[in-house]
Chain A
Amino acid sequence: MAKNLSGDLQVASANRLADGMVVFLDAAGQWTERLDRADIARNKQVADILLERARAESFTVVDPFLVAVIEDEEGRIEPLSLREKIRASGLTFAAIAAEAVRYA
């Protein structure tokens, strides 16, 4: 079934300038690779502020933006869209390793 992608909860994300890795803004204003440490905005007003903070902290990252997330009962968050899930979790298949000669 189609999901509502408008999401009330949002985190700020970007790609790290030096290596392009996906990062999220934490509550201390640091960029982290861990989604579970991302600062969560719980309404639009806070989300706007979060994005402003992300832009203000963008010296080491590229083009911060907001990502809609959902939160389960235990406080775990997950992006709503498949695209952002893939950004947060990585490839959805196993890439071949440098020394591999057969694809497993």
Chain B
Amino acid sequence: MPDAHFYSYDDFDRRLVAERVEQFRDQVRRRLAGELTEDQFKPLRLTNGLYLQLHAYMLRIAIPYGTLSSRQLRKLAEISRKYDRGYGHFTTRQNLQLHWIKLEQAPDAIAALAEVDMHSIQTSGNCVRNTTADHFAGAAADEIEDPRVWCEIVRQWSTLHPEFSFLPRKFKIAITGSPNDRAAVRVHDIGLRLWRNDRGEVGFEVIVGGGLGRTPMIGKTLREFLPKDEMLAYLEAALRVYNRYGRRDNLFKARIKILVHEIGVEKMREEVEAEYESMKDSALKLSPDTIEAIAQHFAPPPLRPKRTLVPEVEALKLEDRNFALWLKSNVAPHRVAGHAIVTASLKPAGAPPGDASAAQMEGVADIADAYSYSEIRVSHEQNLVLPHVAVEDLPAVYRALDKLGFAEANIGKITDIIACPGLDYCALANARSIPVAQRISNHFAALARQHDIGDLKIKISGCINACGHHHVGHIGILGVDKNGVELYQISLGGDVDFGHTALGTILGPAVPAEKVVEAVDALVTTYLEARAEGERFVDTYRRIGAQPFKDRVYATV
């Protein structure tokens, strides 16, 4: 049965994935039989998203542009229960990681994914990774166009693209269709932002060379306005330039951001435009029929405008303070009157950010079936989204999410923390992330206080690779290892909001693990004392600078 309202595999997709499953099954058999060495096998398993981490194999499953059907989410729950330890970790790239996969069962897990049109191809390696999107796509009140149509076109183009399977380094693309950037497009290798020009035409701003990691950079505008039908040819031109000139001699200087930094965006533009000139009228130019054929898959569900003021909702607001707070923080405006977008918080107090048990995944799938046209989205902030909920159903959705532990009214608040898996799982990490997030979460658990503090994004990474996006946290926390001791470097002022995208500035010397909560508390206290009317934490920081925060933190810790 096809999944409604977004792309379903055709025969070509199914055959491709089925063939890959059988190839991988044979590769695993040969490895277990000793016919392949680890050196021979490693690139093959990584091509299928299977990493070997500290304790076990980890399978990274692609969730294209963060969109899932209830059927797919149930299957992910089933796979996690059958082949893993019954839970999964939703990541900052809108994917799902299962951290306890057995190699001998990995082909069966991947075959189970294929049953619901999913795979783990290109979730590792120096190729184009899963294209991410605004998690409110297709539903947001502020949206110009659904970016997932373009994500799907990129997915089809980039899957096993022979020319771009061995790029200098991995390549991440994000697309947003709204002026309020919820996809962090300025910190991706290429970010595409749909906007409408003075003539009323919708096209892309093409942003290149953003990224986090050890050398964080904010992307630069490569093309101010690109007609939509030219997107694929232009991407091909940009990737071709990167493939040709990107550095292969130094792993740490291989990302496109370094190329753009070294040659300058003007030279990069010149090269891309020259390359583009030779292919702009090629088969990569998207015909209206092609675009329409993909767009049809993303036809919105048949929502009819409904009443926006619902007495039951208003009554419950007065009766249940947590519900009232939840409406404020976890419910966003929908494009259709009488509907709303609900974010299920995967950050209940003290929980590992982004983790969900199999039972919770099934519970969210049930809620999506009952109230959100069977659709779920994964946000890069590690939450799940129900994109199409009628306002009149909000009390029922709130109660159902509360039963799952996912109704914490904390979206955008201090406990809605992004955290990478850190040293508890990851072979690259230097320090733990999750236990730090848990301690902060427990310390600030009181919802009234969180709402008083207001919007404040804490982002934690366990190493310089920055999977926890610490560079763009209002408060960024980076774990470092100093002679075997975990220390945490704090930065302030990072932001991914459009027009305000900024990298955080390091506050001062790193603090010991046991002092991180006190340091964050000191930052919050400084803000609360200094804030002007209506200022968020990051606004106050921009106005008063780092010094008052620094003074308080280092007097405290």
Contact = CB atoms under 8 A, between A and B. Distances in A.
Contacts of A21: 55-56
Nearest to B34: A59
A17 B424 contact: no
Contacts, number: 113
B18 to A, nearest CB: 25
A102 B435 CA distance: 17
Interface residues of B, number: 48
Contacts of A100: 357, 359-360
A93 B103 contact: no
Given A2-B484, A99-B357, A101-B359, A22 B55 contact: yes
A15 B294 CA distance: 44
A62 B34 CA distance: 12
B547 interface: no
B7 to A, nearest CB: 30
Q: Is the interface of A mostly helix, strand, loop or mixed?
A: loop
A63 interface: yes
Contacts of A103: 348, 350-352, 355, 405
B291 interface: no
B85 A95 contact: yes
Contacts of B373: none
B56 A19 contact: yes
Interface in B410-441: 423-425, 431-432, 434-435, 438
Given A98-B80, A98-B86, A2 B483 contact: yes
Contact of B355 (A5, A20, A95): A95
The listed residue with most B CB atoms (<10 A of its CB), out of A5, A63, A82, A97, is A82
B21 interface: no
A18 B52 CA distance: 11
A20 B52 contact: yes
Nearest to A95: B87
B237 interface: no
Interface of B: 31-32, 34, 38, 52-57, 80-81, 85-87, 100-104, 348, 350-352, 355-360, 363, 403-405, 423-425, 431-432, 434-435, 438, 481-486
Interface of A: 2-3, 5, 15, 17-22, 59, 62-63, 80-83, 86-87, 90-93, 95-103
Given A3-B483, A98-B358, 20 more contacts: A15-B52, A18-B104, A19-B56, A19-B104, A20-B102, A22-B55, A82-B423, A83-B423, A86-B54, A87-B54, A87-B55, A91-B425, A93-B435, A96-B87, A97-B87, A98-B357, A99-B357, A100-B360, A102-B348, A103-B352
